[in-house]
Structure 1
Amino acid sequence: MSNVILVTGGSGLVGKALQHVIETEPVGSRFGKQPNETWIFATSADGDLRDPAQTLKLFEKYKPTHVIHLAALVGGLFKNMKYKLTFLRDNILINDNVLHVSHTQKTTKLISCLSTCVFPDKVEYPLDEDKIHSGPPHESNFGYAHAKRMVDVQNHAYKEEFGCNFTSAIPTNIFGPYDNYDLEDAHVIPALVHKCYLAKKNGTPFIVSGTGKPLRQFIFSWDLAKLFIWMLREYDDVEPIILSVGEDEEVSIKEVTDAIVKAVGFEGEYSFDTSRADGQFRKPASNKKLLERIGGFQFTPFEQALDIIVKWFVENYDTARTGKKA
């Protein structure tokens, strides 16, 4: 029997990583394309998933047996805080349509992508899969986080009422090629890569906001793509699963910045603006459940992954998402 895997949000950071892995891993291997598989990477041009009719039309066109649902309205801190209702409503519409049509079209399996922002603001660390609903999320992510939490609620409801094989993944901080490198709206690694690149290009100082002391867990998008493929083929539990490197692989923003300076080849003045806020010091997540289920996985060394993304960014600067006008 042939399988058709539909990836929503196929042109984003994780969608592009899935496409890379499927195209470069050996056919028939654990993470490679299987002989009976067809992969469809859908984008917003294929249909507006906020619209039930367009969502149904997309599913009727490709008839997916499996879905990896990555599509979402996303943005940085400022946008999340300013447009709480928009982030809540648009993501609820997108998720509800994808889940409902997956059910009515008898999709064999659906994996949705959540975020660690779904976890409560005040929680005992490390984060684990049992703590998602144990308190309100941080106020800055109110709309987006609640919409993503509802996916977990719906997964359980669809399983209990209809027996659907729906589940979800919770990645930690993702970085990789095709990320958003816009200076105003990017997450920490792509923003620092872009700033360091411009400092080298323009011969200006490279100044990083904060002290550099906060700790984060970062997962390379190509590694995350492999874990999604593993989930697609081997994970059939409705309970969500955290996809992350281990707590012992937390790195400081100072260590991240040092590695970026080395990867970019920046030799100019480099300092931290300690008058700027650091944000949350650390929010470690446990990957114990993942390692118990997958039976071993080799994550890409952090500096090696950084070398890959810096090389990609420099080679694709004119087309990368940098905030420049096209």
Structure 2
Amino acid sequence: MPNTVLVTGGSGLVGKAIEHIINTEAEGSRFGKLPGEKWIFARSADGDLRDVEQTKKMYEKYKPTHVIHLAALVGGLFKNMKYKLTFLRDNLAINSNVLEISHQNKVEKVISCLSTCVFPDKVEYPLDENKIHIGEPHDSNFGYAYAKRMVDVQDRAYKEEFGDNFTSAIPTNVFGPHDNFQLEDAHVIPALIHKCYLAKQNKTPFVVAGSGKPLRQFIYSYDLAKLFIWMLRSYDDVTPLILSVGEDEEVSIKQVADAIVKAVGFKGEYTFDTTRADGQFRKPASNGKLMGLVGDFKFTPFEDALDNTVAWFVANYENARK
């Protein structure tokens, strides 16, 4: 029987990227679909995964053999700080339902998507796969972080008690087409793209919050999609795997803003508001384990990926999430 791959959260940034790669890579190629394989990109309209009965119905309808679990209640820093219990409760429910119904339906493999916020706040850098549970996560989003950490605990428990092939991926900062470009609630790259675009349209200054000095590792959503497909085919260890560019590819927020100004074609006044907080200066993650396993893999150069993202946003401005 050919495989049926169910992607939860299929309409989000990473889900859309996986759909793009599956539809554009040659069948049977390294990142393409297998002959006869079926891919289903589920969205919230297909069922509320917080509800166990709706989750069961989704599985009865699609009969997945494999699951890439991306669905989650997510939000920016402010939302995480305000709704800690909601983020904890809803994400625990979503993850518990997906894993339990996957177990009941004898799904061959589940890969869940975690976040680097699962790591302890006080930790020695670089982050690696062995440091997830050695201390408490940052207080600003502990509800979300603990819910995501529990996926790793559940994966191990299902593996030890029942032999289920459940694992997780931990991407660093993801960006690309179909991102959430809201000005207040989005992550740094999509928020700055939208802000710079409006500054160009309205002929107003482009002001970036903070000093521009903090460093981050950004992964292009299409590269991340390929790594998820590779994991689906080739990674069967229960230990989560960090999916990221190397530590040597950290980019400062100023470099990000410079690249956005160039890509948008903004010619106006461009400044940094140093009265605004910077957040953590850096939180590098090691991709050593990934690169030792994936073999030959080339990441898209940051500026090329950013140009593609800006071009997508401008072309899809009316329909983009903003």
RMSD (CA atoms): 0.5
Match of 1:84 in 2: 84
1:219 aligned onto 2:219? yes
Q: Quote the residue 1:199 is aligned against.
A: 199
Could you list the per-position Cα deviations for residues 108-149 of structure 1 after superposition, in whole angstroms to 9, with x for gaps in the alignment?
A: 000000000000000000000000000000001110000000
TM-score by structure 1 length?
0.98
Q: How much does 1:27 deviate?
A: 1.2
Name the amino acid aligned to 2:201. Answer: K
C-alpha separation between the residues in 2 aligned to 1:71 and 1:117? 16
Structure 1 residue aligned with 2:4: 4
Q: Residue 28 of structure 1 aligns with which residue? A: 28
Aligned to 1:278: 278
Aligned match of 1:299: 299
Q: Give the structure 2 partner of residue 182 of structure 1.
A: 182
Runs of 4+ in 1 over 2 A off after TM superposition: none
1: CA distance, partners of 2:113 / 2:5: 15
Question: Within 1, Cα distance between the matches of 2:26 and 2:263?
Answer: 29
Residue 34 (structure 1) shift: 1.3
The separation in 2 between residues aligned to 1:72 and 1:224, in whole angstroms, is 17
**Equivalent-residue separation in structure 2 for 1:264 and 1:223 (angstroms):** 22
Name the CA distance, whole Å, in 2 between partners of 1:277 and 1:99.
38
Matches within 5 A, 1:314-325: 314-322=314-322
Q: Which amino acid aligns with 2:195?
A: K
CA drift of 1:155 comes to 0.2
Q: What code does the residue aligned with 1:191 have?
A: A
Mapped pair 1:106 → 2:99? no
The reply on whether 1:160 has 2:155 as its aligned counterpart is no
1:254 and 2:254 are equivalent in the alignment? yes
> 2-side partners of 1:36 and 1:237: how far apart?
26
In 1, Cα distance between equivalents of 2:240 and 2:296: 19
Aligned to 2:119: 119
Deviation at 1:184, TM superposition (A): 1.0
CA offsets per residue over residues 218-257 of structure 1, 9 Å max, x none? 0000000000000000000000000000000000000011
* Equivalent residue number for residue 209 of structure 1: 209
1:141 aligns with 2:166: no
| TM-score, structure 2 normalization | 0.99
2:240 corresponds in structure 1 to 240
Q: CA deviation at 1:36?
A: 2.4
After superposition, give the CA deviation of every residue in 1:1-54 in whole Å (9 maximum; x if it has no partner).
Answer: 300000000000000000000011111100011112100000000000000000
SS at match of 1:129: coil
Amino acid at match of 1:308: N
1:95 matches 2:95: yes
Question: Take 2:252 and 2:82, find their aligned partners in 1: how far apart are those partners?
Answer: 29
SS for the counterpart of 2:130 is: helix
Q: Deviations over 1:232-286 (max 9, x none)?
A: 0000000000000000000000001100000000011111111111110000000
Q: Distance in 2 between matches of 1:85 and 1:44?
A: 21
SS for the counterpart of 1:130 is coil
Q: Deviations over 1:153-197 (max 9, x none)?
A: 000000000000000000000001111100010100000000000
Counterparts of 2:162 and 2:57, CA distance in 1? 22
- Map Cα deviations across residues 280-302 of structure 1 (whole Å, 9 max, x no partner): 00000000000001112100000
Q: Gaps spanning 5+ residues in structure 1: where?
A: none
Give, as a single letter, the amino acid of the residue that structure 2 aligns with 1:226.
K
C-alpha distance in 2, partners of 1:94/1:33? 27
- Report the secondary structure of 2:167's partner residue: strand
**Matched AA of 1:251:** V
CA distance in 1, matches of 2:25, 2:202: 38
Amino acid of the residue matched to residue 30 of structure 2?
R
Q: 1:7-86 to 2 correspondence within 5 Å?
A: 7-86=7-86
Query: What secondary structure sits across from 1:98 in the alignment?
Result: helix
CA distance in 1, matches of 2:45, 2:312: 25
Query: Aligned equivalents of 1:166 and 1:131: distance in 2?
Result: 19
SS in 1 for 2:261: helix
